[in-house]
Amino acid sequence: MPRYFLEVSYKGTAYSGFQIQANAGSVQEEIEKAFAVFFRKEVVMTGASRTDTGVHARQNYFHFDFEGTLGGEEVYRLNAILPTDICVKGIFRVPEGAHCRFDAQSREYRYYIYAKKDPFLTDRAYFYPYPLDWVDLQQAASRLTEFSDFTSFSKRNTQVNHFRCTVLESNWVREKGSCFYQIRANRFLRGMVRGLTGTMLMVGRGQLTGAAFEEILEGKDPTKVNFNVPAKGLFLERVRYPEHFQLGS
């Protein structure tokens, strides 16, 4: 049976995460419901990246099997059914056996922060009106590409076999009146980006030295990490796949 990738974006404010779960609304549930309404049959989805409650995505993927040809018309019809905070961006035929989670080469996240009150950012960024030392922030971020064991930055009660991640890019970017932390890696652990962001903000405010930040990295102790930045500032920006998948983005 043909396999397809479904590219989606969503505002996660109203959802208890990406993946379907009992007794809580999710992005996957809404998409599977829309498919059931349009195609009048159940279509089972597999997600590429699990995002937590309140986290947003500019790009995420599902894969599913479907007998038939799908394209632009189905994208239009599904978007007419879906809530306004979820969008189907494309449906792509992929090689047989392609897996949206295991075949992903990297994922990129951004955490957005703004320093001046802005009513248009309240549910999409973290209001943080404090001066930050930009040099210290960038130095902390750059060190992450030299580490591979991120045990310290994984929340407990997570079901993973190991805590090794290859960080390909890690840097802070300034924009007018705001900034964001950008990180790209082959995989991420539960709470990892928020933990890194919150702890580096402590470095930027002078509450933690660069040396102390490295000690936390090497110490493999999550109790030393600040996971307390809100979910609303976090976006899954991009999931990258091999070129021969021809996803068009």
What would the two tokens of residue 179 be? 């900034």
Compute φ and ψ for 74, nearest 5 degrees: -65, -35
Name the residue type at position 119.
P
User: What is the C-alpha to C-alpha distance for residues 64 and 189, in angstroms, rounded to an integer?
Assistant: 25
> Helix, strand, coil % (nearest 5) of the chain?
30, 25, 45
Concerning whether 52 is annotated as a catalytic residue, the answer is yes
- Residue for token pair 């190991």: 162
Residue in 52, 85, 123, 133 annotated catalytic: 52
* CB of 159 closer than 8 Å to CB of 130: no
* CB of 53 closer than 8 Å to CB of 12: yes
Compute φ and ψ for 113, nearest 5 degrees: -135, 140
| 29: number of Cβ within 10 Å | 17
What would the two tokens of residue 180 be? 């964001």
User: What is the C-alpha to C-alpha distance for residues 38 and 34, in angstroms, rounded to an integer?
Assistant: 6
Length of the chain: 249
Q: Which residues are catalytic?
A: 52
